[in-house]
Every structure is written in structure tokens, then in C-alpha cells.
Amino acid sequence: MREVRVGVVADAALDVYWDADMTLSVLARENPHHILPIVRERPAPGGGCHAAACAAALGGPTWQLAVLGDDWRGRELARLLPDDGVSTDFLLVSPERVTNAFCKPLRYGLCEVVYEDPHLYFENRTPTPPAVEAALLERLDILLGQVDAVLAADYHVYGMLTAPLRERLCAAGRAGMPVMVDSRTRIADYHNVILKPNELEAAIAAGLTINTQEASLEQLEAIALELARKNEATVCLTLGARGCLWAEGGAARHIPTRPAPPPVDIVGAGDAFAAACLAALAAGADGSEAATIGHLAAGVVVRKIGVTGTASPEEILARFDEEMVS
């Protein structure tokens, strides 16, 4: 897995945590509210950039293809990614786009509970301009020629993965390249690749109506198989603490996981799973083996509280040893 060259084609985002010490808060002079005294700012790669950081943490060469705005959030991401081992050679900066960001104010100090304010979201609200799309397609063609596997994170309604880019990724999948796709609203638009939806995303994409909270494993297997058939794809249907279902070649297999003991923080676990699973597939693992390695990586990340963490090979092996003992 350390030798697998991974390209991450994704909607970039910056995560920013603002820690406010409320013991220092006073009434503002300008309005009738108490201020948030920010004592620490913690920026980190988020969205598809966290997926790239997870891939790079495994030790192999990793490139990020994304579009950033000409703003402070984009400049911060371009600064942070190399620190995580991610090459920025394929980043595109456009003044016509804004850099996605999720800014999260956290209040603490008055009691043991940390209170999380509503998040501040920066996001594009208009379609990707044709010139930006053309530049991304050109970069994607070059990237596909130098990597062994691609992880696509399609998160935003007006994100970078437009129809021509989706088709280019599907063509790479048809040609035999391992391409894993995580998409919140467009998983049905990807064919001949490895789809990584959750229960609800898979049901919608398969055109089935089901109460995912009460669905049996057999019902979820039917959804995974229908989506795999409909999209001529391999489906890795994630089930949270229950593991995942791997549907391929007309058969579905349940790959369970062992939930990590509390406390846990699930933020970023899906990216860690996808990166490790994809790298294992590209290194020659079969679906069950790759999903098991993905579970181990996610099991590492959920125990990193308050950060969108990653999992190194050493941490994955340690998690494996821990599970074998238990």
C-alpha cells in the first residue's frame, strides 16, 4: 500500500475550529451580545482535502486535484496540504470560485460541556464556469496518467465534479483503474467504478424506498446488489458501527467491524475508510480484505477526539493487534 500512487479528485474544503474561552467573555460595546473570545484557531484540510490527507498518511505518493478560490481559505489549504504529504501540483486557483470552508466556533470554560455554535459555511452557489471545467479536465487527464488509483469526493451541489469530469472518471473505471466514489447526492451518476454510499444514499440511487433505520441486513444487501446491477459497479455500502456490505459480481458480503470503545468522534472516519480501502485494492487485496483494512483505519480515526485525524500504517497495525487480543 505504501507504493500505491493515489489521485484525489475532490471538492476541497477548509475546516476551521475557533476555540472561545467564555470565562473571558464580556458584553460587547457595539451590540447587546456577549463576545466570543477566540483564544485558539485550528485550521485543517476538510472535505475532499481530508480524504487526500488520509491517503497520504498511508505512505504513498498522493496528489490533490481541486479548485480553490483566490481567497484566504484557499491560500491556507495550499499551505496545509504539503504538511500532510499531499502534492498540490494539480490545484487550480480561480477568482470565479470561492474556497469551501466550514468554520466551527466552540465555547468552553464555564462548565465541562463544550458548546458548539452554528457553523459558518462558505460554499459556491453557482455552476462551475466552462473555463474552469476545461482546466480541470485537462489536469484530470494528466493525473490519470500517473496514478494507480483515484478517490473521488463529490460533496457539493455546485462542486467541481461536473458531468464531463464524472464521465472521465467512469471511463477510467471501465479501463480497469480502481476508482472509488463518495457522493452525497450524485452516486447514481457514476458507473463502472466502486461506489461508497451509506444506506440512505444507496437506497435513493437504487430507486428503492426503505426505512434505513429499521432495514434488515438482507434488505440492505438487496439495495447494494440492485445499485451494483443498475450502475454496473462494485458497491461498498457503509453501515457505520455495523461495518459494510461489499456487492460485486452479483453477490453481497457483510464485512463487520468492531466498534471502538468510547469516547469516539466519527468526523473523518469515512475518509480514512475510503483511502485505506482504495489503497489496499490497488495493492492487490480483494474486496473483503480491503474493506477490513478500511475498518481498521476508521477505528483509528474515531478515537482522535476533536480533530479530523488520519491513520498511519503503524496505527492501523496496532489497531489490528488490539482487535486480535480482544
Given a cut of 90, whether residue 267 has pLDDT beyond it is no
Answer whether residue 22 is part of any domain: no
Q: What is the pLDDT of residues 208-264, one digit of tens each?
A: 888 877 889 999 999 999 999 999 999 999 998 899 999 999 999 999 998 877 888
Question: Domain limits at 236?
Answer: 6-14+45-100+124-325
pLDDT digits 0-9 by tens, 148-173? 999 999 999 999 999 999 999 999 99
| Structure confidence at residue 93 (pLDDT) | 98
Q: Where are the beta strands (DSSP E) in the chain?
A: 6-10, 12-21, 38-47, 62-69, 86-94, 100-108, 115-116, 120-122, 149-154, 179-183, 194-195, 234-238, 244-248, 251-255
User: Distance between CA 223 and CA 220 in Å, rounded?
Assistant: 5
Lowest mean pLDDT among 68-82, 111-125, 187-201, 206-220: 206-220
CATH number at residue 237: 3.40.1190.20
Q: How far apart are CA 163 and CA 274, in angstroms?
A: 22
Q: Quick check: is 116 in a domain? A: no
pLDDT score for 210: 80
Q: Is the pLDDT of residue 59 over 80?
A: yes
Percent of the chain whose predicted confidence (pLDDT) is above 90: 88
Place of cell 502534492: 87
Counting the structural domains of the chain, the total is 1
Residue 140 burial by CB count (10 A; 0-12/13-18/19+): exposed, middle or buried? buried
State mean pLDDT over 39-67.
Answer: 96
Q: How confident is the model at residue 179 (pLDDT cuts 50, 70, 90)?
A: very high
Q: How far apart are CA 183 and CA 323, in angstroms?
A: 30
What is the arithmetic mean of pLDDT over 278-288?
97
Q: Name the band, by pLDDT with cuts 50, 70 and 90, for residue 13.
A: very high
For the segment 289-323, what is each residue's pLDDT rounded down to a tens digit?
A: 999 999 999 999 998 877 778 999 999 999 999 88
Q: What is the DSSP letter of 242?
A: G
What pLDDT score was predicted for residue 266? 81
Q: How confident is the model at residue 205 (pLDDT cuts 50, 70, 90)?
A: very high
Which whole number is the average pLDDT over 60-89? 97
**What helix, strand, coil percent values describe the chain, rounded to 5?**
40, 25, 35
Q: Mean pLDDT score of the chain, rounded to an integer?
A: 95
Higher pLDDT, 325 or 37: 37
Sorted by sequence, the CB contacts under 8 Å of residue 43 that are 6+ apart come out as: 14, 15, 16, 17, 76, 80
DSSP state of 263: S
Query: What pLDDT sits at residue 148?
Result: 98
Average pLDDT over every residue of 128-142: 98
Average pLDDT (41-54) is: 96
275 in a structural domain:
yes
Residue 39 is assigned to a structural domain of this protein: no
Instruction: Give pLDDT, residue 155.
Output: 94
Sign of the CA dihedral running 158, 51, 248, 299: negative
Strands 100-108 and 120-122: antiparallel
pTM for the complete prediction? Answer: 0.93
Domain annotation covers residue 111: no
Cα separations in angstroms, 122 against 17, 102, 126, 315: 14, 7, 13, 33
Q: What is the DSSP string of 118-130?
A: PPEEE---SPPPH
Say if 169 falls within a structural domain.
yes
Q: Is 179 part of any domain? A: yes
Cα 188 to Cα 47, 238, 308, distances in angstroms: 20, 16, 27
144, part of any domain: yes
Q: Is the pLDDT of residue 282 over 80?
A: yes
